[in-house]
Amino acid sequence: MIIHGGKPLKGDVWIGGAKNSTVALIPASILSRTPVTLDSVPRIQDVDNLMDLLAEMNVTSEFVETTLKVDPSNIEMHPLPAGKIKSLRASYYFMGALLGRFGRAVVGFPGGDDIGPRPIDQHIKGFQMLGAKVRNENDEIVITAPEEGLHGANIYLEMVSVGATINIILAAVTASGRTVIENAAREPEIIDLSTFLNNMGARIRGAGTDTIRIDGVPVLQARNAHTIIPDRIEAGTYISLAACVGEGIRVCNIIEEHLDSFLAKVEEMGVGMEVNEDSIYVYPAGDLQMIQIKTMPYPGFATDLQQPITPLLLSAKQGEGVIIDTIYPKRVRHIPELQRMGADLHVEDDIILIHPSSHLKGAKVSADEIRAGAALMITGLMAEGETVIENADNILRGYDRVELKLRQLGADVEIVDA
């Protein structure tokens, strides 16, 4: 991604469907015995990668505009190769989906962004509580249900985990009896997934709370198209961008309550906003105040937004900003890249300390993961001169049609296939 910065941006930007819903809904679609239609699907590389994995199982899919059609009618049980699995972490949702559909899953160890340890022990514990046996064979996870099938169980998660909550739901929806997940994650994307499954005949109650109850059903069948919720992380990224370099930007297609903790921090900094039912208008920023941010499980401040908000803290006039990521404390690989651009910030004991940085300059940097790429992209738009972001495919993995949207706002940006 090549950016010529220092240009004020204005206009409207439309937020796409939630990436973190989409990457769970696509694996969940194989639980249906009938074709599935998903609307408001973001145009991101993770969707293309998941479609490739569907093809490995003889599942056809077609992606036109923002509609993805998946037909699992002729699905075949195949081990999913480690190479493609390692292209994105959310591919591990095929573990729960295959286990729920076939009673067996063979999946390579998941990959994705390198943001520190993200163990899957709680996923495995959940499968085992449902009666499955789990073993490691040649760098693959082999999960097998008993002959009589999976059975409901009471499962307590030692720590709040979005991934484990989703995987257990996918495996439990067709298990016999009742499954109760305690200390479950409460993210909006879990509600979105549960709505999708319930509309296919599942019986899930309590999504969005810390206790989810699932009464297993024998068969799921899609009936109507499912519209994916707006992406709260994309929305937060553009709100940060608008406050950094905007001359009046309206962020459209949002759900305000999904952004409450983020908006509270942006307002604390002094950013002027007009919040409407499904959009937020961000006024040009004046003098901004430094703040402290601590990421927490939803409804707290999202870990995925600590990097996109960092350029906004760099815009403050005085003081010291602090970011503490309690979810992924090692999520700091963007810091040395921002330093190359003249940003005054550093890390002490996994705490990010930020100082005002008024002389940002373009540089050659690397986007080592999705949200780090977003931070570099916003900083590049703020900086004088040319910024070249290598490994920009990581940005494309998580941000819907980002080049088009930035150009529509007036940015001088180009993505080049190296």
Phi, psi of 401 (to 5 degrees): 45, 50
Give the model's confidence band at 79: pLDDT under 50 very low, under 70 low, under 90 confident, else very high. confident
User: Beta-carbon neighbour count of residue 280 at 10 Å?
Assistant: 22
Q: For residue 114, what pLDDT is reported?
A: 46
Structure tokens at 48: 């293309």
Q: Which of 93-107, 110-124, 287-301, 347-361 has the lowest mean pLDDT?
A: 110-124
Share of the chain above pLDDT 90, in %: 90
CA dist 27 and 179 (Å) reads 20
Structure tokens at 87: 């292209």
**Residue 81: pLDDT over 80:** no
**Residue 294: pLDDT over 50:** yes
Mean of pLDDT values over 10-39: 98
292 contacts 322 by C-beta, under 8 angstroms: yes
Residue carrying the six token digits 């479609």: 51
Mean of pLDDT values over 197-222: 98
Give the model's confidence band at 13: pLDDT under 50 very low, under 70 low, under 90 confident, else very high. very high
Mean of pLDDT values over 295-304: 97
User: What residues contact residue 148 under an 8 Å CB cut-off, 6+ apart?
Assistant: 176
**Residue 80: pLDDT over 90:** no
**Residue 113: pLDDT over 50:** no
**Residue 123: pLDDT over 90:** yes
Average pLDDT of the chain to the nearest whole number: 94
Q: For residue 347, what pLDDT is reported?
A: 98
The verdict on whether 344 is a catalytic residue reads: no
Give the model's confidence band at 404: pLDDT under 50 very low, under 70 low, under 90 confident, else very high. very high
**Residue 116: pLDDT over 60:** no
Please name the residue ranges forming H helices in 273-369: 306-314, 334-340
Identify the CA nearest to 184 among candidates 175, 176, 193. 193
**Residue 11: pLDDT over 50:** yes
Q: For residue 223, what pLDDT is reported?
A: 94
CA dist 79 and 76 (Å) reads 10
Give the model's confidence band at 112: pLDDT under 50 very low, under 70 low, under 90 confident, else very high. very low
DSSP three-state, residue 62: strand
Q: Long-range contacts of range 389-393, CB-CB < 8 Å, 24 or more positions apart?
A: 389/1, 389/2, 389/3, 389/365, 390/364, 390/365, 390/366, 390/418, 391/366, 391/367, 392/1, 392/367, 393/45
| Tens of pLDDT, residues 41-53 | 999 999 999 999 9
User: Beta-carbon neighbour count of residue 309 at 10 Å?
Assistant: 28
Residue carrying the six token digits 């899930």: 204
Catalytic one among 46, 113, 304, 325? 113
**Residue 82: pLDDT over 80:** no
